[in-house]
Amino acid sequence: MAHYVMATGGTGGHIYPAVAVAQELIRRGHTAALLGQRGGMEQGAAQRAGLDFLGVEAGKLVRSGQGRPDPRELLRAAGGVVQARRALQAQRPAAVVGYGGFASLPGVLAAQSLGIPTVLHEQNAHLGLTQRLAVGRARAVGTAYDEVIGLPQGRGALVGMPVREERLTRPEALGRLQDAGLALDQNRLTLLVMGGSQGSLALNQGVPAALRNVLGSGELHGELVQVLHSTGPRWLEEVRPVVADLPWYHVTGFVDAPAAWSVADLGITRAGTGTLAEAAFYGVPLIMVPLPESAENHQLHNAQAVQRAGAGRLVEQSGLAAELGGRVLECGLPGTRQEMRRAAQQRSPAGAAARLADLIEQL
């Protein structure tokens, strides 16, 4: 059996696929660890999953006002590569797997400088900057899309978007949420509001008012309804007082995602690939509000694809206040909701973690 290191970090869309694949490799008898930014959210994710964590510095590859990389961040990234080299020399992994994002770069570049085989996973339809820096020396590239702009033809193997494939019954999921202090009603229709792993200011500001207007005293088309809103830790204390008078509106800074998806009947989310993959795995129809600043506007393209498939409805952020209530009324109709659920289930990424693990093992 072999030892593998997952180089990841920055956002949940990069971290959770790495956790899913690490757990799949462990199930196969291997060992696996996560390598990322010291103090980043990947460190907490590794601890919660019971995975060893290797922390290094990781400079963000952002641009300064003159359009050039910030020298301070480049120095941090270089220092991270040195630290990652030391960690990998001690770990001696069979391969390092990079999931994109600035926090994955030190581990991938360190591995390549040491001659350790590297595998990349590209989750978007556009090859990211950190992946472009590493793809030339990567042994294999797993993708979530049939075609990836910027990736040479024939270099990618379609594996899908790995998600945490944890199935929970509704009572099991409600029990886990109860343990976390979220007392939801088993018999109410549940709307899940989730702005990504770190929350979304636009959703936190716009969704509560829209839902207050359309749901009134907590009903949707004659059904009792409740809202589970994951604000992100940064925004919790700003959102909590806004909905304090609504007994059916539950807010939390961070939510147990498998439990939340397992109870959700309808989601209001951003349109990152990871979020859309999790919604599809759990068969949850979505109202999607793409992040306008996403690279190459990829979240808008993601949401348009889901809408074409019939698994969701798109609301652009500029029209959030005017359109969200109408979308909730439309998607909340029982017949519409069931049609969207079936369409979502047809997009399920089940097996993606296993397919990427297969690609890694082939090395």
Q: Is the dihedral angle over the CA atoms 296, 10, 282, 292 positive or is it negative? A: negative
> Which residues sit in the known binding site?
11-13, 124, 164, 197, 299
b/e 185-216 (16+ beta carbons within 10 angstroms → b): eeebbbbbbbbbbbbbeebbebbbebbbebbe
Annotated binding-site residues for UDP-N-acetyl-alpha-D-glucosamine read 11-13, 124, 164, 197, 299
> How many Å apart are CA 125 and CA 158, to the nearest integer?
12
Other CB atoms within a 10 A radius of the CB of residue 267 amount to 26
Torsion of CA 267, 273, 277, 278, to 10 degrees: -50
CA distance 25 to 108: 19
Cα 61–chain centre separation: 20
- Cα-based distances in Å from 158 to 14, 121, 261, 307: 17, 10, 25, 22
* Sign of torsion over alpha carbons 83, 85, 88, 94: positive
Give the Å distances, CA to CA, from 50 to 37, 40, 47, 53, 161: 17, 16, 5, 9, 22
**What's the token pair of residue 226?**
């409740």
Name the strand (E) or helix (H) holding 252: strand 249-252
Q: Is the dihedral of CA 326, 327, 333, 336 positive or negative?
A: positive
